Amino acid sequence: MKLLDILDKKLTERFDATHHKADILEEGTAIYKHREWRGLSDTAYDFGQWCRLWGILLKWAVPKAPQNVKAIWRYRWMYHYLTVPAFFDRLCANMKGADLRAARNNLNYLAANVTGTFNTIFDADRNLHPGSAKAEELNKKIICVDELLPSLIGKGFPNCETILFQEYAMYLPSVIQQHSPVHYINQMEIHGLPADVCPLPSFEAGLAIENDFPLIGCCMLTSNMPCDGSIMTSMIQDRRIGLPTQPLNIPLRWKREEVQEYAVAEMQSAIDFIEKHTGEKFDWDAFKEGCEIWNEQNKAKFEKWDLNRTDIPPHTGASAWLYRIFEHQAVPGDPKALANDRKVNKYLEAQVAKGICPKEIRHRAIIWNTPCNNYANFNNWLLECWGIDSVCEMIDLHGSELIDTSSHESMLYGLAKMYQTSTMRAHTKGGYEVMYDDLWRKYEEFHGDMIIMFDQISCKGVGAISGLFEEGAQQRGIKMCIVRQDLMDPTSISRKDMRRDVNVFMQNVMGEEPLDPTLVDFDDDQSW
């Protein structure tokens, strides 16, 4: 034991890059010259989880190697998935103890689930298998839904696969590789569509124009979420993809009881639509089982929020919020996700019980508005450079009501409510009371001492009330740092620009010195 302690000490003296992290990053690409040293035990754990990740990737890649090579050859966005180990490294930067264990387990769950879904997608893809009878047979049982609609409705069709249509070609690549949207946004602009729309629907339109969506499924549920830009891109995708399509409309003012009847009717209509196109009958028992698992997943999330309200917030950053988005949208009702939640919560509870805090925290920040996809590890940088821990993040706070599974009616009501608290409907497009009032409530609940407010320059909805936020913070005497970003377009606002906004605020308003001076200004423009 003593020998291991000596070894740990020697290696830490030699390799620990805490407070000079930029020294182990390559100039421009910010690829690690060597991976992080986190102490012997945590580095060994990280190594084990990295091996597990490669195991997951090889388990996917090898059995269907010709098909997967064809997919990488065919789809530009597939290249970005090859960089996933680097993406996970970025999201786990500077993490130790329970935070590292939670992050690595969440991310590896995500990798296992996504690669499994790739098999479903590529087996049925009409682009990869033109004219294949086998692919057509598989497509009869694939329900496509807009990536902003949770897939829980699909639990009522246990013989079918429910796929978030844009999740794998658009959303995930946009967080994995910051430059992945640029080519597709350019395509959209070259074809004369307005350049001032949010990059998310622009990216989707570009994929449709270039025919880079896998052609799968027997029907498609689109959505009015989150905004008008998204509704417009649904039409462009609809023309290109050519599947029977039905919009599932989600009320905006979801707190109001009078909209619930409409929301439930929309759910029923969507079920009828899927029944018609798949030839399957909605299975209420299977659906009930899915809802009950989802309730348990949600309870596990409530526990995490409770833990982050303590003096030792054990699990923060993108590995928490990205996992939450994915769990809410892609895998609600999945027993494997629930098992992962319980495993992760055990790590977190144990650390809080012991009173250990393996990170330097100077500030407890509430992060409000949609996070920046092209800088998913922004939270890690905030903590490493300035000691700002993101104890509460708006994007992490959706889907917070349990579904009453006592009757068919109550389940439909709960399902409709769950959809109304989806990503970007729960807050940003859910009305004044959830976007504005909730911020101050969360600030109190999570014992914040500052707010990081994203100014997503192409989101007109939130942009309209940015002045109210500034006024509200001023009235309450809360320190609020406004950080400009453009969701997934690094050509308009780069990571460096975002960091500059924080640096200026921390130096001039807060009058502080950075924890890691090498991270204040460094070049990562070519980084993934």
Interface residue list for other proteins (CB under 8 A): 29, 31-35, 47, 50-51, 54, 72-73, 76, 79, 82-83, 85-86, 89, 187, 191, 209-211, 236, 239-240
- Give the DSSP per-residue string, 389-455: EEEEEGGG----S----SSHHHHHHHHHHHHHTSTTTTTTTS-HIIIIIHHHHHHHHTT-SEEEEEE
Q: Judged by CB, which is closer to other proteins: 86, or 231? A: 86
Residue 222 identity: T
Q: Judged by CB, which is closer to other proteins: 2, or 33? A: 33
In angstroms, give the least distance from the CB of 83 to other proteins. 6
Q: Judged by CB, which is closer to other proteins: 86, or 264? A: 86
In angstroms, give the least distance from the CB of 54 to other proteins. 7
Q: Judged by CB, which is closer to other proteins: 54, or 440? A: 54
Q: Judged by CB, which is closer to other proteins: 239, or 255? A: 239
What's the chain's length in residues? Answer: 528
What is the chain's Cα-based Rg?
Answer: 23
In angstroms, give the least distance from the CB of 177 to other proteins. 10
In angstroms, give the least distance from the CB of 153 to other proteins. 30
Q: Judged by CB, which is closer to other proteins: 210, or 292? A: 210
In angstroms, give the least distance from the CB of 15 to other proteins. 9
Nearest Cα to 525, choosing from 498, 494, 485, 497?
494
In angstroms, give the least distance from the CB of 196 to other proteins. 18
387-420 per-residue burial string, b: 16 or more CB within 10 A, e: under 16: bbbbbbbbbbbbbeebbebeeeeebbbbbbbbbb
Q: Judged by CB, which is closer to other proteins: 61, or 72? A: 72
In angstroms, give the least distance from the CB of 231 to other proteins. 16
End-to-end CA separation in angstroms for the chain:
40
In angstroms, give the least distance from the CB of 17 to other proteins. 13
Alpha helices in 191-334 (DSSP H): 199-209, 228-241, 260-278, 284-308, 318-329
Q: Judged by CB, which is closer to other proteins: 187, or 298? A: 187
Angle between helices 199-209 and 228-241 (to 10 degrees): 10
For residue 214, whether the previous peptide bond is cis, meaning omega lies within 30 degrees of 0, is no
Nearest Cα to 369, choosing from 388, 389, 392, 399?
392
Which tokens belong to 471? Answer: 């006024």
Cα gap 391→409, rounded to integer Å: 36
